[in-house]
């Protein structure tokens, strides 16, 4: 697992998207904490709580890969991307994706 400059873990989640011919798409993500039992924590964390944040997207697991922040714009075709997210201490994390036609 990759780590950030402070030595905290940075999980990466693989995402495979197929954009139909003649179309483009925009994909965005939100980091979420996972509660005991596997359910997602609400999108809004308690005041002062550290929350998982999306660092960016990359086309590979290479830790030296440049991360692209913000939404990912995808042309037609098949795409595999890795979503990089911060992981607060003692917290399991997941990502929630949204894909829209561009």
Q: Where are the beta strands (DSSP E) in the chain?
A: 2-3, 9-10, 12-19, 25-34, 54-58, 72-74, 77-85, 92-101
Predicted pLDDT of residue 42: 67
Predicted pLDDT of residue 63: 58
pTM across the whole model: 0.81
The residue segments making up the domain with residue 22 are 2-101
User: Structural domain tally of the chain?
Assistant: 1
Predicted pLDDT of residue 49: 79
The span from the CA of 8 to the CA of 96, in Å, is 21
Predicted pLDDT of residue 5: 79
Predicted pLDDT of residue 64: 63
pLDDT tens over the chain, length 102 residues: 788 778 888 999 999 999 999 999 999 999 998 877 777 766 667 677 788 999 999 988 775 666 788 999 999 999 999 999 999 888 899 999 999 998
- 22 near 94, Cβ under 8 Å? no
Residues whose CB is less than 8 angstroms from the CB of residue 87 and which lie 6 or more positions away in sequence, other chains included: 8, 9, 10, 11, 52, 93
């Amino acid at each position: 697992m990759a780590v950030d400059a402070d030595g905290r873990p940075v999980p990466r989640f693989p995402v495979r998207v197929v954009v139909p011919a003649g179309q483009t798409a925009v994909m965005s993500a939100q980091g979420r904490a996972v509660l005991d039992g596997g359910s997602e924590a609400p999108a809004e964390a308690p005041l002062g709580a550290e929350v998982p944040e999306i660092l960016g997207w990359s086309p590979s697991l290479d830790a030296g890969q440049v991360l692209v922040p913000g939404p990912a714009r995808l042309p037609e075709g098949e795409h595999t991307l890795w979503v990089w997210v911060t992981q607060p201490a003692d917290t399991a994390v997941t990502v929630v994706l949204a894909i829209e036609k561009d």
